[in-house]
Amino acid sequence: MNNVFVVNAGSSSLKYQLIDMESEQVLVSGNCERIGIDGGKITYKYFGTKKVVETDLPNHKAALDRVVDLLLSGETKVIDSIDDIVAVGHRLAFSRVSPCSNEITPEVLKDIEATTEMFPLHLPGMLTGIRACQDTFSGKVQVAVYDNSFHLTMPPKAYMYAIPYDYYKDYGFRRYGYHGTSHRYVSLRLAKLLGKPVEELKIVSCHLGNGSSLCAVDGGKSVDTTMGYTALAGLMMGTRSGDIDPSLLLPMAQKAGLDLEGIHNVINKKSGLLGVSGVSSDHRDVENACAEGNERAQIAIDMLNYQIQKYIGSYAAAMNGLDAVIFTAGIGEHSPGLRQEVCRNMEFLGIQIDEEKNAANHGDEEEISTSDSRVKVWVIPTNEELMIARDAYAIYQSKQK
């Protein structure tokens, strides 16, 4: 059996999937929560059944060992031996250097550790997850899949900031972009669905969730994306402001009596849909408030739709053409209203949406443009775990040769 174990580790949680790489079916998925805190809990979903195990999870290794017990024994058993798992794929936020996924060698681990400064909240949890897997799955290929790798193909004109060059050279201050695994997955998937090589397609991929980003994918390569050095940039999001005038930060701090950290907190946690609407960071709640006539909610929704339209237009210009727009992630998959508004008045670009198909689509993989729309519009549910598993499996296979 050729299964890959996919891990997305946080400081107190560890999400996992076990994927059979021959059928690409998810055998098991789940989450270990409250690791290192009282009241640990493991959810374990297998073949349509869900089991919840409440047990103290003192650390990530203990949590993984419990999951392996569940995989190997009792009613929850899905594999006979740990050797039925050939590789482990880890979701990581960032690599400064690696344009693709790679095996976690001691040198690679050092590179990853060196980025802790940029991700002080998330990286320590991810690193703990890697170390625990190296222990529990010792001898298996461990592969790192980075959220920004896909964007390392961007040209300097897209990734440079117009600040003194030394800041780029000395500190690496440039656009990096995130959600790369998702943009890569949906653009490859679209090429397959259209029966065309991805090299021949110009795509704008819209990943719209709590965090949102758009990506211009030209010939299968990311040529521009909305997120920047951090995941704050670009579109307004659930609680993040997206792009604002950077010179606003100083008067904001003075008026609100906040220091730099306080302002950082405001633009990351109190802005976006939540900040403008005053209702919620959740797009569903804000849409519902609009339907009840809430004016601020309507402004927030209008702003988001408008920003997405502007980026689609600018990316069509950047790529000198557009063949397809993809909507994915929580909002992209589940909000017909957003898709309808974003595609309104875009006929000049060749985008025409089939309103009935769009209204009926709540996350199905489907084309929602009219048959004569020059630009194809698709809803494609993202599947970052499968992409991670594929990369891990490919590296495992290359090592067998």
Residues that are catalytic: 147
User: Is 330 annotated as belonging to a binding site?
Assistant: yes
Find out whether 332 and 379 touch, Cβ atoms under 8 Å: yes
367 membership: H or E segment, kind and range:
strand 366-367
100: phi then psi, degrees, rounded to nearest 5: -150, 175
- Does 332 carry a binding-site annotation? yes
- Min. distance of Cβ 331 from ligand ADP in angstroms? 4
> Quick one: which of 66, 334, 339, 390 contacts ligand ADP (CB under 6 A)?
334
Query: What do you get for the CA distance between the two ends of the chain, in Å?
Result: 18
Contact between 60 and ligand ADP (CB under 6 A)? no
Nearest distance from C-beta of residue 284 to ligand ADP, angstroms: 4
Q: Taking CB under 6 A as the rule, does residue 183 contact ligand ADP?
A: no
Please select the residue that binds ligand ADP; options are 85, 308, 331, 388, rule is CB under 6 A.
331
CA atoms of 353 and 81, how far apart (whole Å): 50
Q: Which residue is nearest to ligand ADP (CB)?
A: 330
**Member of 180, 209, 234, 242 binding ligand ADP (CB under 6 A):** 209
CA distances to 23, 49, 93 from 27, in Å: 10, 11, 25
Binding to ligand ADP (CB under 6 A) within 300-329 occurs at 329
Rounded to an integer, what distance in angstroms lies between the CA atom of residue 253 and that of residue 261?
10
Across the beta sheet with 141-146, the strand order is 49-54, 41-46, 25-33, 14-20, 3-9, 85-92, 141-146, 102-103
Output the smallest distance, CB 286 to ligand ADP, in A: 8
Q: Contact between 211 and ligand ADP (CB under 6 A)?
A: yes
Q: Which of 13, 335, 358, 373 binds ligand ADP (CB under 6 A)?
A: 335
Closer Cβ to ligand ADP, 10 or 209, answer by number: 209
- Nearer to ligand ADP by Cβ, of 258 and 303: the residue is 303
Q: Is 227 in the site for ligand ADP (CB under 6 A)?
A: no
Q: Burial level of 346, CB count in 10 A (0-12/13-18/19+)?
A: buried
Q: How far apart are CB 395 and ligand ADP at their closest, in Å?
A: 25
Binding residues for ligand ADP, total number by CB under 6 A: 12
> Please, how many CA atoms are within 13 Å of residue 339, restricted to the half-sphere of its CB?
34
CB of 190 closer than 8 Å to CB of 310: no
Q: CA 251 to CA 244: how far, in whole Å?
A: 13
- Residue 91 annotated as binding site: yes
Binding residue for ligand ADP (CB under 6 A) from 284, 344, 374, 399? 284
Q: Where along the sequence are the contacts to ligand ADP (CB under 6 A)?
A: 209-211, 238, 282-284, 329-331, 334-335
